Structure 1
Amino acid sequence: MSLLIAVEGSQKPDPRLMKQIIIKYLSNRSSLLLELTRIHSANPAPDIIIVDKLDFYISNPKTNSIGQVTAALCAHLIDAATYLASKRAKTEPLSASFVPTCILASISTSASGSFIPSMDVYKKFFPFTFTLTDLEDANNLKQLQCWIVDEELPQYVITVEVTDTIRIKDVMKGSELDADWSQPYESVT
Structure 2
Amino acid sequence: MAYDRYVAICQPLHYERVMNRRACVQMAASVWISGSLFSALHTGNTFALTFCGGNMVDQFFCEIPKLLKLLKLTCSDSYLSEVQVLTFSACLGLSCFVLIIFSYVQIFKTVLRIPSEQGRHKAFSTCLPHLIVVSLFVFTCIFAYLKPTSSSTSGLDLVVALLYSMLPPMMNPVIYSMRNKDIKAALRRLTGWTLFTKN
Quick check: which has more Rg, 1 or 2?
2
Common topology (TM > 0.5)? no
- TM-score, normalised via structure 2 length: 0.28
- TM-score, normalised via structure 1 length: 0.29
Q: Which has the higher strand share?
A: 1
